[in-house]
Copies of this chain bind each other. A is one copy, B any other.
Amino acid sequence: MPRPAPKRPAPPAPRRPRATDPAIRAIASAAVDFRDWRKSPLRAPALEAIASALDARRDEVIAACATETALFPAELAAEFDRLTGTLRLFAAMVREGSWVRASIDRAWSPGSAAAAPIGPGHDVRSMLVPLGPVGVFGASNFPLAYGVLGGDTASALAAGCTVVVKEHPAHPRTGRLLFQIASAALRAAGAGAGVLEYVQSEDPTDFTAARSLVTAAPIRAVGFTGSLTAGTALADLARGRSTRPIPVFAEMGSINPVRITPRSLSRRGAEIADALASSILLRHGQQCTKPGVIFVQPGRGLAAFVDRLTERLAGAPPRDMLAPWVRDRFADGLARARDVRGVKTLVKGGATASPRGARAALLHVKAKGEVPPALLEEIFGPAAIIIELPEFDHPLRPYPGALTWTLFAEHDEPPRPWSGRHEAGELADCAGRVVFNGVPTGVRVAGGMVHGGPWPATNRPEATAVGPAAVERWCRPVCWQNAPDWALPEDLRDANPRGLWRRVDGRWTNGPI
């Protein structure tokens, strides 16, 4: 096999086509710059440069975003820190390197020390490689943490993918500001212009750019956070591509159910009601993990719990929502739930006179047999439904898939009606995350986090949108068989120059071979 000739010129780069559609132009540019970015040593420093550039303009970003989204500066401050923290987390992950999952099984010959191979004894070495340019749809509800530079973009850039972001139409100015800051930081760090591209679309009824971002040939994957309807539509578009189908990672609606044991209800019902009310009201209910359905049962403490939650939600001042159409959908969803037979309104809530204004709402229903499916659909906004079951152990199957299931229980639960271990196991079958004695809002960004879950919460329950494993969505494994050292990616070479943790002949090691 040939030694590489260092002076040999690379083949000519494909030209950047001059498309008239800005999305197509952006995608073509991302495809060109993928060639370098996929293995670029700039990835970690560039992600850190974006974080630092954001820090330098923190107040300006938060102010612009607050004006446009009606989220409070205090709410956005926490989100801002999560944004920059996530960018730095992925930078650290790229440097550490074991995320590529390098696995090496060396050539085997009879008499060698290693165990006999299954099949031929070829030298086989595998690792994750980036898929290519990816399309990211900015979320409406987390303009910073899941917007232009949020978790999807950060993890895709870390993977070595280039990114074309379509900003959510509800906050174009925030999107443009974030993009300008990141774009300047990337260029200063030496990255090509196509590493991060931006597509603006202020008209929520114009799907031209969205369609391009899913169907254009160079795009290799899509990240989306939003409604079940939109996520499903994008996944369908991806399957209908004239070139090969691509994965769409869609995080969609979730009702994030809560269960409270009888003993917890009787012992600290009011305290739990306070915690849930704060969780429902934060960001005016516009969180993927807002607790939307609360399962309780008759017994001591129920009345106090319901009264306290009613009081808290009824007393909450009206607030503007993210956009007029978000408010309208909230009011519609609420009306649909109210129309279900047996549903009582505890706090009316719904639209106010202002075009984006809404008040919190609370509904209540007694379920005898199955819970009406119409009550197990997400109402995006400051609303929750209390579903009163005849008893705690009333069968709930099939549980709806959700991002989170939450369980409030005491340390000294009686053996019955509580079916502790079983209950906790069942909840894990229905959710990406099971929360004990706390509220599901507030997502820690860490290796132990899973932000995902069974349909309809996401269409890819094997993936997480938060934490370091989010990077794997943008990758696939490749094996090199009997490859000479020069043809291998650096991370699979004998010398292991970066000191990565790898599996060599089945054993973990960070040394050379």
A→B interface (CB under 8 Å): 1-5, 8, 10-11, 78, 81-82, 85-86, 89, 101, 103-105, 117-126, 129, 132, 239, 243-245, 247, 393, 398, 401, 409-413, 415-416, 418-422, 424, 428-429, 431-438, 442-450, 452, 454-456, 459, 461-462, 464, 469, 472, 475-484, 486-487, 501, 503, 506, 508
The 13 sampled A-B contact pairs (Cβ below 8 Å) are A2-B409, A3-B411, A10-B422, A103-B446, A119-B443, A120-B442, A122-B444, A126-B447, A126-B448, A432-B476, A434-B478, A436-B481, A446-B506
Residue contact B438 to A487, C-beta cutoff 8 Å:
no
Other contacts beyond A1-B437, A450-B477: 14, CB < 8 A: A3-B411, A3-B412, A8-B416, A103-B469, A118-B446, A122-B438, A124-B433, A126-B450, A420-B486, A421-B487, A432-B477, A450-B478, A454-B476, A462-B477
Q: A476-B452, A481-B438, A487-B424 are in contact. Are A118 and B5 (CB under 8 A)?
A: no
Distance in angstroms between the alpha carbons of A18 and B381 in the assembled complex: 45
Contacts of A4 in B (CB 8 A): 420-421
Chain copies in complex: 2
Complex: A456 Cα to B244 Cα, angstroms: 7
In contact, A2 and B411 (Cβ under 8 angstroms): yes
Least Cβ–Cβ distance between A432 and chain B, in angstroms: 6
Q: Is the CB of A410 within 8 A of B85?
A: no
Q: In whole angstroms, what is the CA distance A99 to B442 when docked?
A: 28
Instruction: List the B side residues contacting A424 at CB < 8 Å.
Output: 483, 487
A201 → B minimal CB distance (Å): 28
Within 8 Å by CB of A436, from B1, B120, B432, B434, lies B1
With contact pairs A434-B480, A444-B105, A480-B436 given, residues A422 and B118 touching in the complex (Cβ less than 8 Å): no
Which B residues touch A416, using CB under 8 A?
8
Chain B residue at minimum C-beta to C-beta distance from A395: B11
- Give 4 closest A-B pairs by Cβ, nearest first: A2-B413, A85-B118, A124-B448, A244-B455
Partner of A482 from B245, B415, B435, B482 at Cβ < 8 Å: B435
Task: Let me know if A419 and B11 touch, CB within 8 A.
Answer: yes
Cβ–Cβ < 8 Å partners of A89 in chain B = 118
For A8, list chain B residues within 8 Å (CB).
415-416, 419-420
- A478: which of B81, B398, B432 is its contact (CB, 8 Å)? B432
Which of B132, B410, B446 meets A124, CB within 8 Å?
A: B446
Q: How far is the CA of A164 from the CA of B81 in the complex (A)?
A: 48
Instruction: Find chain B residues with CB under 8 A from A86 CB.
Output: 118
Given A118-B89, A120-B442, A479-B433 contact (CB < 8 Å): yes
Bound: A442/B117 CA distance, A: 12
Kindly provide the distance from the CB of A439 to the nearest chain B CB, expressed in whole angstroms: 10
A310 to B121, CA, bound (A): 29
Instruction: Report how far A434 CA is from B125 CA in the complex, Å.
Output: 10
Q: Give, as a whole number of angstroms, the nearest-CB distance from A426 to chain B.
A: 9
Minimum CB–CB distance from A282 to chain B (whole Å) comes to 12
Q: Report yes or no: B482 in contact with A438, Cβ–Cβ below 8 A.
A: yes
Q: Which residues on the B side are within 8 Å of A450 (C-beta)? A: 126, 477-479
How many Å lie between the Cα of A271 and that of B27 in the bound state?
45
Residues of B within 8 A of A454 (CB): 244, 476
